[in-house]
Amino acid sequence: MSDDSDGEVPDLVPADIKKVPITIITGFLGAGKTTLLNYVLTEQHGKKIAVILNEFGEGDSVEKSMSIGQEGALYEEWLELRNGCLCCSVKDNGVKAIENLMSKKGKFDYILLETTGLADPGPIASIFWLDEELCSDIYLDGIVVMVDAKYCKKHLHEAKEDGSINEAQRQIALADVIIINKTDLVSPDELESLQQEIRSVNSFARLHQTTQAKVDLNFILDINAYGGHGPTSMEDLFGQRGFSTSDVHTIDKSVTTTTVDLDGDMDRSRLDDFLQRLLWDKNLTDPNNSVMEVLRLKGVVAVMGEERRMIIQAVHELYDVQYTTPWNDEQRKSTVVFIGRNLDRSSLQKSLEACIVSR
Ligand SMILES: Nc1nc2c(ncn2[C@@H]2O[C@H](COP(=O)(O)OP(=O)(O)OP(=O)(O)O)[C@@H](O)[C@H]2O)c(=O)[nH]1
Ligand SMILES: [Zn+2]
């Protein structure tokens, strides 16, 4: 990655208890997830990567991971590859299953998890993300979404009968990295127009284009999108910020990205109240009285009386804050990014303004 990496402090945890990053690979049916994983498994990258296929996170994953017996899972079709990688499919789910796998097979350097094409990555991501607090050996590094250059547009526009947000939009909303695969099947114009549509849903994810999923592994591994590993830089958090597509709506009634920037310090408890109303109570509405639905939220906040930057992360209704690098002489200001549906920028701005206590 770029210039921000020099701000990263070396890992102070002894090597033997170093946490293992997990990247969730999701994407629509047939987009090229397995192609990507096979590519990873055959590339020489010097890492011992465990690739875990499918069947994970079926059904209500959060519920399941809570209720699953602690005995872990069934592993199928073990495959050890020459480059030290390991491939398997974990039935059942839960972090425990993967930890058991590690205790039997030795520690991996990295875990890639392919979810089924129709899975909402939210609940699966939450398992790893929240488990961090439970002192897991694993931390969520990021969510990579494979997109089919030819069919993605169609999937983005499919209306669900119950009016809920469709899977393609959910996946793109939660992506930290989006790989537009199968670029050989579309014209440059089609590709450009798809890219714009994707940007209008999620303006922060990093975009890459591939054929046969051949992507530089540095684009998908160790991106630290959730700040589970050392201080999170602005680049880690906001990826390709600068695409100000916040008010471009290419898909009617669809998921969009909205950003609010504010100067001054916020009161932590007012901010918590706001987040809880937005994410938990879901009683904030847009001017048409439609409830604002947030799929993903992230922000850097200047909190009154706090030297360090506060990072907020939310996936659906779960949110978490952590404190990172100090502001020092920089201007204290906050940026909050919302990805979701019916997001009304001016009312979000107003609610956040109301949390400001001093400028
Ligand atoms: N034309 C073209 N075909 C590709 C490309 N990448 C993958 N494919 C083909 O697309 C098909 C689906 O790829 P997979 O990697 O199995 O897709 P997947 O996302 O794992 O599919 P599911 O697990 O079924 O959801 C396969 O036949 C691949 O060979 C590409 O860049 N161009
Ligand atoms: Zn697959």
Rounded Cα gap, residues 34 and 113, in angstroms: 10
Count of Cβ atoms closer than 10 Å to residue 76 Cβ: 12
DSSP secondary structure, 93-134, as one string: --HHHHHHHHHHH---SEEEEEPPTT--HHHHHHHHHHHGGG
Q: For residue range 241-265, what is the model confidence (pLDDT) as tens digits?
A: 544 444 455 555 689 999 999 999 9
In angstroms, what is the span from residue 32 Cα to ligand 1's centroid? 4
Q: pTM of the full predicted structure?
A: 0.81
Rounded Cα gap, residues 169 and 191, in angstroms: 17
Q: For residue range 154-204, what is the model confidence (pLDDT) as tens digits?
A: 999 999 899 899 999 999 999 999 999 999 999 999 999 999 999 999 999
- Which residues crowd ion ligand 2, with CB under 5 Å? 33-34
Calculate the alpha carbon distances from 52 to 76, 111, 144 in Å: 10, 7, 14
pLDDT at 78 over 60: no
| Mean of pLDDT over the chain | 80
Of 94 and 353, more confident: 353
- Comparing C-alpha atoms, which of 265, 242, 290 is closest to residue 352? 265
Count of Cβ atoms closer than 10 Å to residue 289 Cβ: 7
pLDDT at 77 over 90: no
Most confident of 9-23, 30-44, 301-315: 301-315
Averaged pLDDT, 315-320 = 90
In angstroms, what is the span from residue 286 Cα to ligand 1's centroid? 39
Averaged pLDDT, 227-242 = 64
Is residue 41 within 8 Å of 53, Cβ to Cβ?
Answer: no
* Element housing 169 (H / E): helix 167-174
pLDDT at 336 over 90: yes
**Hey, what are 333's tokens?**
């200001």
Return the DSSP state at 15: G
CA of 146, closest atom in ligand 1: 19
Per-residue pLDDT, 135: 59
**Who contacts 194 (Cβ-Cβ below 8 Å, separation ≥6)?**
147, 149, 152, 153, 180, 186
Q: Which residue's alpha carbon is nearest to atom 30 within ligand 1?
A: 182
In angstroms, what is the span from residue 38 Cα to ligand 2's centroid? 10
In angstroms, what is the span from residue 117 Cα to ligand 2's centroid? 8
Q: For residue range 86-141, what is the model confidence (pLDDT) as tens digits?
A: 555 554 455 666 777 677 667 778 888 888 777 788 887 877 776 555 556 788 89
- Comparing C-alpha atoms, which of 201, 165, 158, 159 is closest to residue 180? 201
Is residue 73 within 8 Å of 97, Cβ to Cβ?
Answer: yes
Rounded Cα gap, residues 51 and 47, in angstroms: 12
Calculate the alpha carbon distances from 129 to 23, 180, 264 in Å: 11, 25, 29
Is residue 359 within 8 Å of 263, Cβ to Cβ?
Answer: yes
Per-residue pLDDT, 73: 39
Rounded Cα gap, residues 259 and 266, in angstroms: 17
Per-residue pLDDT, 50: 82
